[in-house]
Amino acid sequence: MRIKVINPNTTAGMTAKIGEAARAIAAPGTEIVAVNPAFGPVSIESHYDEAVSVLGVLEEVRKGEEEGCDGYVIACFGDPGLLAAREIATGPVIGIAEAAMHAASFISTGFSVVTTLNRSCIIAEHLVERYGMHHACRKVRGTDIPVLDLEETGNAALRTILDECRRARDEDRCGAIVLGCAGMADLVATVQREIGMPVIDGVAAAVVQVEGLVRLGLGTSKHGDLAWPLPKPYTGSLSHYAVKAR
Amino acid sequence: MRIKVINPNTTAGMTAKIGEAARAIAAPGTEIVAVNPAFGPVSIESHYDEAVSVLGVLEEVRKGEEEGCDGYVIACFGDPGLLAAREIATGPVIGIAEAAMHAASFISTGFSVVTTLNRSCIIAEHLVERYGMHHACRKVRGTDIPVLDLEETGNAALRTILDECRRARDEDRCGAIVLGCAGMADLVATVQREIGMPVIDGVAAAVVQVEGLVRLGLGTSKHGDLAWPLPKPYTGSLSHYAVKAR
Amino acid sequence: MRIKVINPNTTAGMTAKIGEAARAIAAPGTEIVAVNPAFGPVSIESHYDEAVSVLGVLEEVRKGEEEGCDGYVIACFGDPGLLAAREIATGPVIGIAEAAMHAASFISTGFSVVTTLNRSCIIAEHLVERYGMHHACRKVRGTDIPVLDLEETGNAALRTILDECRRARDEDRCGAIVLGCAGMADLVATVQREIGMPVIDGVAAAVVQVEGLVRLGLGTSKHGDLAWPLPKPYTGSLSHYAVKAR
Amino acid sequence: MRIKVINPNTTAGMTAKIGEAARAIAAPGTEIVAVNPAFGPVSIESHYDEAVSVLGVLEEVRKGEEEGCDGYVIACFGDPGLLAAREIATGPVIGIAEAAMHAASFISTGFSVVTTLNRSCIIAEHLVERYGMHHACRKVRGTDIPVLDLEETGNAALRTILDECRRARDEDRCGAIVLGCAGMADLVATVQREIGMPVIDGVAAAVVQVEGLVRLGLGTSKHGDLAWPLPKPYTGSLSHYAVKAR
Amino acid sequence: MRIKVINPNTTAGMTAKIGEAARAIAAPGTEIVAVNPAFGPVSIESHYDEAVSVLGVLEEVRKGEEEGCDGYVIACFGDPGLLAAREIATGPVIGIAEAAMHAASFISTGFSVVTTLNRSCIIAEHLVERYGMHHACRKVRGTDIPVLDLEETGNAALRTILDECRRARDEDRCGAIVLGCAGMADLVATVQREIGMPVIDGVAAAVVQVEGLVRLGLGTSKHGDLAWPLPKPYTGSLSHYAVKAR
Amino acid sequence: MRIKVINPNTTAGMTAKIGEAARAIAAPGTEIVAVNPAFGPVSIESHYDEAVSVLGVLEEVRKGEEEGCDGYVIACFGDPGLLAAREIATGPVIGIAEAAMHAASFISTGFSVVTTLNRSCIIAEHLVERYGMHHACRKVRGTDIPVLDLEETGNAALRTILDECRRARDEDRCGAIVLGCAGMADLVATVQREIGMPVIDGVAAAVVQVEGLVRLGLGTSKHGDLAWPLPKPYTGSLSHYAVKAR
């Protein structure tokens, strides 16, 4: 099975880290193709960054279909372009926020999300609503750590994250913590050990989810709302994004 | 006051029609700048079309800021890129679905939406949830009219829309009908006359809403979730989308 | 265009202030008729005050129809009698809570309300639910300022309001503040300047909303739930409230 | 124990019928005082009728407090003035819609409401939301029977109601039916026998609910949101509605 | 009228206390049969305790039907086995959480629950959702008092409860407090006096509710979702739980 | 990895079928232990059947912990005893309704459930609410097939199911169908082929979900709401259900 893990930003170091996290959990026989678009924001920290990043995500899914990918992970906690990506994919497409929140709801009655910038909390909160997770999400907590600080050596970011996770544990009556950024994928073991309760990284959770759906023979439904986009011309510099008739 | 009305698809005829509808309602002293991106889908009928169209919407807002636009209308019923556009705009940004639904909720206790393809209903339904309009939206009704058929002469599309509006009136216990496509902007008077109840076109509703907010001195809040995106590099062919430090 | 702005309480000084705020925002050509009933509570600070005030609101709308008013604003943050008023009005009727909350949701992803008595918060909270604004309203904050204290000279009330607005800004992660009383209409500029984020007065917001709907040719729907009340006898001292057959 | 059952409309025949239904269920030792205001609409079939009727309801509660009433029933399915009435009552105040819906939720997992005019359905639907009954209310069904037709001899109205109740039973997967008008209080036994499933009249349900709360020593909470209205002047013809300092 | 009050745990002292509270409120002519199962947990403080206790609840209802009981109270704040019990009961079955929350919503616009272990809060919170009480429940507050500590002499538990009730009163803007454990039935008068606002014990509230429904002639609906279970074999040690054909 | 798949009813033939479905999807190296309790109902078709079956589910989990099971599947579409089972399990516990609904939400924007008896629909509907799936579940459809009819040879039940699935596909605008009974596990391939859209069996979906969580190192959180039950005496015939101190 070949799963494409798409880092929607263009920071190669983060893509490498995400790929490592994906490979570490992948089942024997699963090939992880970790990529990032050649164009777009170096990090995603606003609705704007996210919106622009979608184009790269879709390009990678489009190429993935030609490359015979069986499923896709969108490795940014805003799950950018999720429904659009599903329309052009044969197999399943899973966002890491989606995967992490669902996993958390299976092992606890309530979880908190610890993420990066405070201004990004709204993105996670909107996903909580969209996914019907308000019954389980106790709080979304920002730390005001810029995403790319997670790529730096040194432990300042880790310390801040640990502090916020401890507050979540002690104040939110939660049973699990979801790390709200793909760039935290390498921290999950450390945080879990320090906090003493389940901590979930969406990259690993999403890889496992995609593998499971593929094994179940379940791809994105092509009946109804997520059917292939209708073939039609696209104009100008985006003309190659046009979907061909099938 | 200068309001930019952005048709997110690239069909110039539709842009002209939208511009006309906007100018017909605009207050004296309001300049309507009706545009469409130079690139992207000729019509928006899926999550995929919509996701790709966002880039053009953002480009037009970016240019609009340089051109001194006071506010923006996103003239596609999926309100593509709404929150991202707000982040890079000084003035208000209003989507036509948003404007139409809110207007409908002011003059009735329940409205129905009549839109184009059945597969697009889900986009409107998700917006109903996002905008907290489930208390007022009785039903979203598809007609399976392709968007560009609305640009053709002849009355086939109109007849289909009228039939569906009559069904909405007679079966949904609604007090108003929202036309769920910018391409229907020229039909509102005819439909209202035939149906005998208020019918709302989002383009006109959004222009009026933007004018009102500008007069109130209210632009998009730059405190918190919709603050200017952080300046950062964008890579490759999208590098010019990078937001500069302010 | 003639818009009647109805202050549901009987304090003439407050009506004058509300009228001023309305006129300050009204478009050229809009005539603002600011009134209050001749009977009823001098201020509205409970469900009881509000319920009794409704009669005066309806009387003013009834007279307004005879006077050729094109639309109405109900200038009390509980929006008293809103649906009843709509039934007897040809044009649109907008409550100031409704107008302010909707405006806030257009320029931010979350707003807080700062109002007068703590016991009145429940009224605003019920409206938040009724209008589907729970996704956007972060908190309703009372200050325990009696409504009529807003009519007094001196800055004690203003200072209290500013303090609460600052708390909202710093603790609620909100992007806009709604002032939750028509009697605060004259404070909006000061508060906005001090707080440094958008502050919304419902009186101005409602005037603009009514103007917009009238320009759109949208009156209250007379199809279905908000149709004219059936003609029937009213008894005793309220017999003149009976609606005539049309 | 003395319970005042207030018919908010001014049709004495209907008050008599309501009083009878109340007395038939009242416990030994409970005195039922069935009244209607001297002023207001002869029937309540719109938001407008309802809004005007509130004044009479409040007057009756005010007098009831002087008369030593222990609790109140508001005998109109829109529960007009409920929260305002609670503020000026020492004992409990229960609306018949509220009582009927809660009773239905105790004996079934889903109920349907059968009411009078189709245009009144919205009033019941708003109460369903307000009371958190959306999980249990399967459907609100109008019959377009004018309220006062229920006061006439002959069985036309009964037949229409029975037909609608049968449809509710057969199509809504409901386990109980709520009769949505105080004027149907005398039909409950007949309908229940014909339909073969529990049928609930709100008048009886509310009397029992008030008796229970009084026996529990529970009156309307005077702490917080429903505390006594602040004493203040009321102006003009409504000056006697002013609440005195306590 | 004979009402069976079932304490789902096996602590006889607690059953006696519950029986006393029930008898103290019961109407003349109501016989209270207070029982606990012969088997199961001595206290219920987790989903597990609760799940195991259901068997005893059902056994007592089954026997109650043979004994001619007219209705049932399930006297544990998790309302264990409520819908299952309803299926095998002719009369009404009411849980104490259900009864208390509904009573609280009749006399206030918002209540808080003060319960025992923090880990039990989730059970009450799930019931709040199930019963549609999120609009009225301000907060569920744990005290970490083990259930059986409520059976001990001395005032340590009472003091802790009073402290938490005071916090609820002062911080939650609530108008009533619900005591979230059947074992607190004897504390209600003391707490109410100390706190100065309505305090509700579910045992008394449920007895009154059952009496009322029985007087209304309303038993559990046997049409639809709560009809008698289909007769079928039960195997092994639980074979006597099989429902016979009727 | 050892996963225990618990059929909560006592029909061995159904357990065998469920075991087969589980083994067919299990990864290499996963041992499936398919069991049913020695006691309890032969099928689960009501809240009562379900409530009684919980004891057997818990017994099997308790034994599973001693047997070294890494995770559990509760193979009945009501997910009986889910939270209680989680409290006494180290590893993850997944219900088949939960697993199927979540899988459906990953590959479609809306799904319908096709289940057995109409009276069981309410159980699925309550789970839809509990799991936050109302945004995705379009309809729950009963077929009035008794559960054990699914064990019989002949195609009557299959034909009925296919008919209902076709109606779901054609009327509900859904993109996937969830089979609402563990006894339908062997029909999924046939139904999917006939219906032409994704069809989901919860048994397979749950096995894959448990495997994934175990691989992620995620067991049921023992922090907070789902911590081990407190050790305490259990009385009488259920005394062996007491949880020991750890």
Chain E residue with CA closest to C134: the answer is: E135
pLDDT per position as a tens digit, A182-222: 999 999 999 999 999 999 999 999 999 999 999 999 999 99
Residue A246 lies in a domain: no
R_g over Cα of chain A: 17
Same domain as F117, residue F152: yes
DSSP E strands in D44-183: the ranges are: 71-74, 93-95, 111-114, 137-141, 176-179
Touch between chain B and chain E: 3 or more Cβ pairs under 8 Å: no
| Alpha helices per DSSP H over chain C | 12-25, 47-66, 82-87, 96-107, 121-130, 156-171, 188-195, 202-215
Structure tokens at C192: 């906005």
Residue E181 lies in a domain: yes
pLDDT: which is higher, A149 or E34: E34
Touch between chain C and chain A: 3 or more Cβ pairs under 8 Å: yes
Closest by CA to D189, choosing from D181, D180, D178, D200, is D200
DSSP E strands in D50-157: the ranges are: 71-74, 93-95, 111-114, 137-141
Q: Is the pLDDT of residue E154 over 80?
A: no
What pLDDT was estimated at residue E194?
A: 96
Q: Do A122 and C109 touch (CB under 8 A)?
A: yes
| Cβ-proximal residues to D14 (8 Å cutoff; 6+ apart), any chain | D7, D36, D43, D147, D148, D150, D151, D182, D183
Residue D72 lies in a domain: yes
| DSSP H or E stretch at residue D201 | strand D199-201
| DSSP H or E stretch at residue E171 | helix E156-171
What pLDDT was estimated at residue A155?
A: 83
pLDDT per position as a tens digit, F164-192: 999 999 999 999 999 999 999 999 999 99
CA C119 – CA E199 distance, rounded (Å): 20
pLDDT: which is higher, B245 or E92: E92
For E220, which of D107, D173, D213 is closest by C-beta distance?
D107
Section A124-136 average pLDDT: 97
Identify whether the C-beta of residue D55 lies closer than 8 Å to the C-beta of residue C81. Answer: no
Q: Is the pLDDT of residue E179 over 80?
A: yes
Section D69-93 average pLDDT: 98
Long-range contacts from C14-19, C-beta under 8 angstroms, 24+ separation: C14/C43, C14/C147, C14/C148, C14/C150, C14/C151, C14/C182, C14/C183, C17/C151, C17/C183, C17/C185, C17/C186, C18/C75, C18/C182, C18/C183, C18/C185, C18/C203
E246 pLDDT band, cuts 50/70/90, is confident
Q: How many other C-beta atoms can be found within 10 angstroms of the C-beta atom of residue C49?
A: 29
What pLDDT was estimated at residue A240?
A: 94
CA B227 – CA C191 distance, rounded (Å): 20
pLDDT per position as a tens digit, C194-212: 999 999 999 999 999 999 9
What pLDDT was estimated at residue D203?
A: 98
3-state secondary structure of A84: helix
Output the domain CATH number for residue D84: 3.40.50.12500
Q: Do D173 and F121 touch (CB under 8 A)?
A: yes
Same domain as F151, residue F196: yes
Same domain as B189, residue B122: yes
Q: Is the pLDDT of residue D154 over 80?
A: no
A157 pLDDT band, cuts 50/70/90, is very high
C165 pLDDT band, cuts 50/70/90, is very high
What pLDDT was estimated at residue C228?
A: 97
Same domain as D77, residue D39: yes
Structure tokens at B167: 């069904």
Section E98-112 average pLDDT: 98
CA B61 – CA B75 distance, rounded (Å): 13
Q: What is the pLDDT along chain B (246 residues), one digit of tens a residue?
A: 999 999 999 999 999 999 999 999 999 999 999 999 999 999 999 999 999 999 999 999 999 999 999 999 999 999 999 999 999 999 999 999 999 999 999 999 999 999 999 999 999 999 999 999 999 999 999 999 999 999 887 788 999 999 999 999 999 999 999 999 999 999 999 999 999 999 999 999 999 999 999 999 999 999 999 999 999 999 999 999 999 887
Residue D227 lies in a domain: yes
Same domain as B180, residue B122: yes
Closest by CA to C214, choosing from B191, B27, B113, B182, is B27
Q: Is the pLDDT of residue D125 over 90?
A: yes
What percent of chain D is predicted at pLDDT more than 70?
A: 100
Residue B158 lies in a domain: yes
Same domain as D123, residue D83: no
Interface of F with D (CB under 8 A): 118, 121-122, 129
Structure tokens at D215: 């026996």
Q: Do F129 and D109 touch (CB under 8 A)?
A: no
Same domain as E58, residue E10: yes
CA A59 – CA D27 distance, rounded (Å): 74
CA A124 to chain B, closest CA, distance in angstroms equals: 12
Q: Do C208 and B200 touch (CB under 8 A)?
A: no
Provide the number of CB pairs (under 8 Å) joining chain B to chain F: 5
What pLDDT was estimated at residue C66?
A: 96
Q: Do F42 and E236 touch (CB under 8 A)?
A: no
Residue B246 lies in a domain: no
Chain A hits for C173, CB-CB cut-off 8 Å, are 118, 121
Residue E127 lies in a domain: yes
For F118, which of D109, D110, D173 is closest by C-beta distance?
D173
Nearest 10 degrees: Cα torsion D17, D21, D22, D27: 150
Identify whether the C-beta of residue D96 lies closer than 8 Å to the C-beta of residue D202. Answer: yes
What secondary structure letter does DSSP report for A157? H
Same domain as B102, residue B81: no
D244 pLDDT band, cuts 50/70/90, is confident
CA F75 – CA F35 distance, rounded (Å): 10
| Cβ-proximal residues to D155 (8 Å cutoff; 6+ apart), any chain | none
Q: Do D122 and B135 touch (CB under 8 A)?
A: no
Identify whether the C-beta of residue F182 lies closer than 8 Å to the C-beta of residue F203. Answer: yes
D155 pLDDT band, cuts 50/70/90, is confident
Q: Do F106 and A98 touch (CB under 8 A)?
A: yes
Structure tokens at C48: 């009881």
Dihedral class, residue F134 (left if φ above 0, else alpha if ψ from -120 to 50, else beta): alpha
Chain F hits for A174, CB-CB cut-off 8 Å, are 224
Section E10-30 average pLDDT: 97
What pLDDT was estimated at residue B153?
A: 72
Which CA distances in Å does B27 have to B89, E138, F139? 22, 46, 46
Same domain as B192, residue B208: no
Q: Is the pLDDT of residue A154 over 80?
A: no
Q: Specify the number of domains making up chain B.
A: 2
Q: Do D129 and B135 touch (CB under 8 A)?
A: yes
Identify whether the C-beta of residue A106 lies closer than 8 Å to the C-beta of residue F71. Answer: no
F26 pLDDT band, cuts 50/70/90, is very high
What percent of chain F is predicted at pLDDT more than 90?
A: 95
- Among E105, E107, E109, E174, pick the best mutation site for testing chain C contact (most C Cβ within 10 A): E109
Interface of E with A (CB under 8 A): 118, 121-122, 129
Q: Do F135 and B118 touch (CB under 8 A)?
A: no
- Residues of C134-172 as b/e, b for ≥16 C-beta within 10 angstroms? ebbbbbbbbbebbbbbbbeeeeebbebbbebbbebbeeb
Chain D hits for B110, CB-CB cut-off 8 Å, are 122
What pLDDT was estimated at residue F246?
A: 79
Same domain as E186, residue E114: yes
What pLDDT was estimated at residue A245?
A: 84
Residue E246 lies in a domain: no
For C135, which of A118, A121, A129 is closest by C-beta distance?
A129
Chain A hits for F92, CB-CB cut-off 8 Å, are 106-107
Residue type, A49: D
Q: Is the pLDDT of residue C154 over 80?
A: no
pLDDT per position as a tens digit, F30-71: 999 999 999 999 999 999 999 999 999 999 999 999 999 999
Chain F residue with CA closest to B120: the answer is: F173
Look at strands E176-179 and A71-74 and give their pairing.
Answer: unpaired
The boundaries of the domain holding residue E52 are 2-96+205-241
Sign of CA dihedral F168, F170, F171, F172: positive
3-state secondary structure of C142: coil
Neighbours of chain C (3+ CB pairs under 8 A): A, B, D, E
Q: Do D213 and E106 touch (CB under 8 A)?
A: yes
Closest by CA to B237, choosing from A40, F66, C156, E105, is A40
Task: Give chain D's mean pLDDT.
Answer: 96
- Among B108, B109, B197, pick the best mutation site for testing chain D contact (most D Cβ within 10 A): B109
Residue given tokens 């480009």 in the structure block: B59
pLDDT: which is higher, C1 or C151: C1
Q: Is the pLDDT of residue F154 over 80?
A: no
Chain A residue with CA closest to E134: the answer is: A135
Same domain as D208, residue D90: yes
CA F95 to chain A, closest CA, distance in angstroms equals: 9
Which CA distances in Å does F204 have to B20, F91, F148? 56, 18, 20
Interface of E with C (CB under 8 A): 109-110, 135, 173
What pLDDT was estimated at residue A117?
A: 95
3-state secondary structure of B154: coil
Same domain as A212, residue A90: yes
